Amino acid sequence: MSMLTRNLDLFDPIDAAVGERSTPEEQLEVIAGFVRGCVLCGLGRNRRHAVPGEGGARAGLMIVGEGPGENEDLQGRPFVGRAGELLDKILAAAELPRPSVFITNIVKCRAADMVDGKLVNRPPQAPEVNACRPYLVRQVEIIQPLVILCLGAPAARGVIDNNFNITEQRGRWFEGPYGSRLIATFHPAFILRRGGAGAGARELKKLVWEDMKKVMEALAD
């Protein structure tokens, strides 16, 4: 069983608001509205923009990353920095244009700490991921993607399994909700940290492409 489950409350204002909208696009916009006003965890205090996610409301592929960085926080859009550019290249090579995919994160606000007067990104903490997960669960419920691709260990731990080991378990299939299949690969930012063009980065890119081929096959089934 994945981490994408929730207890159904007797009355939930988000469910009630979503239920009044008929199309998946409208329902996703309701979720985005709640996210933009959310202060359920401390990350809501320092954000410039929340980043609910974007893409096709009927997308076969949902991509889930770790969380917004500085550029995403500035623009309110997911994966728009250098890692986003690399993700765009990977998606283009897989012939999966951005609008055909839904892209989001396990937390919708930037996780960063002030160090020497400067905000420095950090992985989101478990209580922040847990507070934010209901938004992701609802996005999955609305979109019902065939495949959910997690980018990086924090995303895989937030979606697939708390103890996920990205080095050992990337590229393997796991069962998700609504008949979806879950898989994880390395985060583009991790490739960039390895130098982008060096031998280490080339090896990582090869592994990511192996995983993407599995995703493409699953989407074509």
Cα torsion through 177, 100, 186, 1, rounded to 10 = 0
Q: Please work out the total of residues on this chain that contact ligand SF4, with binding judged by CB under 6 A.
A: 14
Which contiguous run of DSSP H or E holds residue 127? helix 126-143
Per-residue interface string for the shown chain with ligand SF4, residues 19-58, x marking contact by CB under 6 A? ----------------x--xxxx-xx-----x--------
Query: Which residues 6+ apart lie within 8 Å of 29 measured at CB?
Result: 21
* Residues in 68-107 that interact with ligand SF4 by CB under 6 A: 107
Per-residue interface string for the shown chain with ligand SF4, residues 111-130, x marking contact by CB under 6 A? -----------------x--
Q: How far is the CB of 125 from ligand SF4 (least distance, A)?
A: 11
One-letter amino acid at 23 equals T
CB nearer to ligand SF4: pick between 138 and 181: 138
Identify the CA nearest to 123 among candidates 141, 110, 136: 110
Q: How far is the CB of 206 from ligand SF4 (least distance, A)?
A: 33
Q: Based on the shown chain and the rule CB under 6 A, indicate whether residue 65 belongs to the binding site for ligand SF4.
A: no
Q: How far is the CB of 129 from ligand SF4 (least distance, A)?
A: 9
Phi, psi of 103 (to 5 degrees): -115, 130
CA dist., res. 159 & res. 87, Å (int): 19
CA dist., res. 143 & res. 33, Å (int): 17
Q: How far is the CB of 134 from ligand SF4 (least distance, A)?
A: 8
Residues near ligand SF4, by CB under 6 A = 35, 38-41, 43-44, 50, 107-109, 128, 131-132
